[in-house]
């Protein structure tokens, strides 16, 4: 069977099936390795760590990028699409990152990490905690004491700024 007409069935952890073209499916190194020795026209691959909602998003990403390479899509168009694609809630974003890591889709993992980096750029610790709903490990009094005991970092920063 040629790869052109070959279909891969991907089954999410919640047992939803997705029929995906071979070229799209093999954008995942994990799936490419699984399919390497299988010659059947249709192959079913369980994806135990990814729910249907997130798997659908991952497939959408892979399908777009597979087609973008085939038609030689401009980098500007791809960047614009990627930016729109990553406009998801934080829970979905982190689930996409986990899925990209599990499925070994390096470009999607990089895109997700860049998205998170952009979200925290120039934010204070407090702002990052609020953004990601992270509770502090210490009470306000404990944090104030630690800042007081460890303010040498801010003193050095002020000295460096003054020297410049």
Cα–Cα distance measured from residue 106 to residue 109, given in angstroms and rounded to the nearest whole number = 5
Indicate the pLDDT class of residue 27, thresholds 50, 70 and 90: very high
Q: How far apart are the first and last CA of the chain?
A: 67
Query: Which residues 6+ apart lie within 8 Å of 115 measured at CB?
Result: 86, 93
Give the pLDDT of residue 155.
54
* CATH class given for the domain over 7-123: alpha beta
- The position carrying tokens 């990209």 is 100
The answer to whether the predicted template modeling score (pTM) of the entire model surpasses 0.85 is no
Cα–Cα distance measured from residue 7 to residue 108, given in angstroms and rounded to the nearest whole number = 22
Indicate the pLDDT class of residue 2, thresholds 50, 70 and 90: very low
Per-residue pLDDT of 89-139, as tens digits, reads 999 999 999 999 999 999 999 999 999 999 888 888 777 777 777 777 777
Q: Between residues 142 and 164, which one has the greater pLDDT? A: 142
Three-state secondary structure call for residue 71: coil
Residues of the chain with CATH 3.30.710.10: 7-123
CA dist 7 to 13, 40, 116, Å? 19, 9, 33
């Amino acid at each position: 069977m040629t790869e052109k007409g070959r279909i891969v069935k991907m089954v999410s952890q919640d047992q939803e099936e997705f029929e995906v073209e071979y070229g799209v499916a093999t954008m995942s190194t994990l799936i490419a390795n699984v399919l390497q020795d299988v010659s059947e026209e249709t192959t079913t691959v369980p994806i135990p760590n990814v729910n249907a909602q997130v798997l659908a998003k991952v497939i959408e990403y892979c399908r777009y990028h597979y087609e973008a390479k085939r038609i030689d899509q401009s980098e500007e168009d791809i960047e614009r699409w990627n930016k729109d694609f990553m406009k998801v809630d934080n829970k979905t974003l982190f689930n996409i990152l986990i899925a990209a890591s599990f499925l070994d889709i390096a470009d999607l993992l990089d895109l997700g990490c860049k998205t998170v980096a952009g979200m925290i750029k120039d934010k204070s610790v407090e702002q990052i905690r609020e953004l990601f709903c992270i509770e502090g490990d210490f009470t306000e009094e404990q944090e104030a004491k630690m800042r007081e005991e460890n303010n040498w970092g801010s003193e050095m920063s002020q000295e460096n700024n003054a020297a410049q």
